[in-house]
Amino acid sequence: MMEAPLTIPAPFDEERRLATLQAHALLDSEPEAEFDALVSLAADMLGCPVAALTLADRDRFWVKSAIGDLPRQMPRNVAFCDHTIHSSDVTIVPDLSLDPRFAVNPFVTGEAGTRFYAGMPIRVPDLDGAPQAIGSLCVMDATPRSLSPAGEQTLRHLARLTEALIAARAIARRANAMAEFSDRQAADLRAKDRTVRQVERLAMIGSWRIILADGQAMWSEGVYRIHELPAGQPCTIDQGLSYYPPAAREVLRKTMAQTVRSGEPFDIELDFITALGRKRRVRVMGEREMLDGEPYGLVGMFQDVTERHALETQLRRNADTDALTLLANRAAFDRTLEAAIAESVGKGTALALVLIDLDGFKLINDTLGHPAGDEVLRIVGQRLRSDWLDGSFVARLGGDEFGLIVHDPALLADIDALRARIEGLLAITITIDKLTMSCAGTVAVTLRPEDCRTNRDFMHHADSRLYGAKRDRVGERRRGDRRRAN
């Protein structure tokens, strides 16, 4: 008879389940070595001549991968796996011929003569993150038998690994979609002089298990491969933790301890250093194992997500960076200014907003051409990254306008000296085809007034001061011209 599931399955939503299956594009797909290897592993580890990964379509079960003699597809009403996908745990039928649900099944009474069946549902999250059973990992035999507790656990682990492979496959498909989207946005990306690197098609994955009593760790070959260690080398919890930098090591240690205490699974990403000294980014997933009502161990998955993490970091950096000057852009400036104002108000500390407008830039652009103008902007960006401004936030606000957020007390102690020092950075001379032109910059330094608590108010004060500074600068230039004329 079929063993009872360990937990009550979630309400079955057939349409949502089918939509999730279709979204993964697994049905009627070409053979894939990863799934074939996993099914072969299930047959070997559980000692069964037949093993399969099946997918439940609306009216049929389609076999994605199989070991042994199985048809490529079969009606749902005769598929043993149709019962499995409604379960929450391993389904075991020691003798199908004695079970009234299967006794007259053609796979039992026919040439195949199947007598034993064990299957574990394969669940993947739908768009809302709810797990949907899209198929089953199963093993079969022509001889009545059962599975030991260890065998049941093996089937569970293999099912989880199957789900991880399906998730990795989905990541790869999304990566391809991202690449296609990047191509469509190539014109905009070229304007920012950026290109988005294509994501690695598939991340490395492995499984692990820890016995709490003796601290021993058991790793699959994939885990050893990510660590860049020879497979089979004995390892303890402490040895495994040693591959993480101190801060990440402490996070993982506390996370595992919390899971042992509470039973809540974990899924975190951490920095990692391989045995060969290579810095990587890994995803660690784990859950608690119980034995006789007590925590016995931890079991989970380990994945190298370095390429994906690097891509996400680069995309975030690109979104906040001006492509020409490599300074922060206006959006990043506005967010930083808002946070700086809040900190200044909360702590009562001084804060200054420096606005810069380049004088003579338009004439250089019009006379020497846009490449010359771009070179001037690049030089300004480079100079505003000077070491003595490291504690300030510098951004290109647009066109020939730049802004700095300054909260260093040493710099704010002498506002006139700060303004003069920045003006000194902006004296630029450029020569194109033996024609030399110069530009400078008008600088306005505005300390935050006590009643100024928003970006809009602070920028208004700073803009007014910059306008006044430009007016005074133009007046000085005209007075100088008159003196030279006399």
Yes or no: say if 390 and 336 are a contact pair by the CB < 8 Å rule.
Answer: no
Higher pLDDT, 204 or 306: 306
Q: Band of the pLDDT at 173, cuts 50, 70, 90?
A: confident
Six-digit token string for 410: 């040493």
Evaluate whether the domain defined by 323-485 bears CATH number 3.40.720.10.
no
Per-residue burial over 282-320, b = 16 or more CB atoms within 10 Å of its CB, e = otherwise? bbbbbbbbeeeeeebbbbbbbbbbbbbbebeeeeeeeeb
pLDDT for position 197: 29
Q: Among 139-153, 392-406, 431-445, which is the least confidently predicted range?
A: 431-445
Six-digit token string for 375: 């070179």
pLDDT at residue 352 greater than cutoff 90:
yes
pLDDT at residue 118 greater than cutoff 90:
yes
Residue 137 burial (10 A CB sphere; 0-12, 13-18, 19+): buried
CA dist 285 → 89, 128, 144, 281, 282 (Å) = 20, 20, 36, 13, 10
Strand order of the sheet with strand 235-236? Answer: 235-236, 216-219, 205-211, 294-304, 279-291, 266-273
| Rounded mean pLDDT, 289-315 | 87
Provide CATH 3.30.70.270 ranges for the chain: 323-485
Residue 396 burial (10 A CB sphere; 0-12, 13-18, 19+): buried
Strand order of the sheet with strand 73-75? Answer: 73-75, 60-67, 50-56, 131-141, 116-125, 91-93
Q: Among 187-196, 277-286, 345-354, which is the least confidently predicted range?
A: 187-196
Instruction: Report the alpha-carbon distance of residue 92 to residue 94 in Å, rounded.
Output: 6
pLDDT for position 474: 58
Yes or no: say if 382 and 327 are a contact pair by the CB < 8 Å rule.
Answer: no
Six-digit token string for 401: 């306008």
pLDDT at residue 338 greater than cutoff 90:
yes
Per-residue burial over 43-54, b = 16 or more CB atoms within 10 Å of its CB, e = otherwise? bebbebebbbbb
Instruction: Report the alpha-carbon distance of residue 474 to residue 29 in Å, rounded.
Output: 72
CATH classification code of 14-150+166-174: 3.30.450.40
CATH classification code of 203-312: 3.30.450.20
Q: Band of the pLDDT at 251, cuts 50, 70, 90?
A: very high
pLDDT for position 183: 66
Amino acid found at 355: L
pLDDT at residue 171 greater than cutoff 90:
no
Instruction: Report the alpha-carbon distance of residue 221 to residue 58 in Å, rounded.
Output: 37
Tell me the pLDDT tens digit for each residue of 46-80.
Answer: 999 999 999 999 999 999 999 998 999 999 999 99
Provide CATH 3.30.450.40 ranges for the chain: 14-150+166-174
Provide CATH 3.30.450.20 ranges for the chain: 203-312
pLDDT at residue 221 greater than cutoff 90:
no
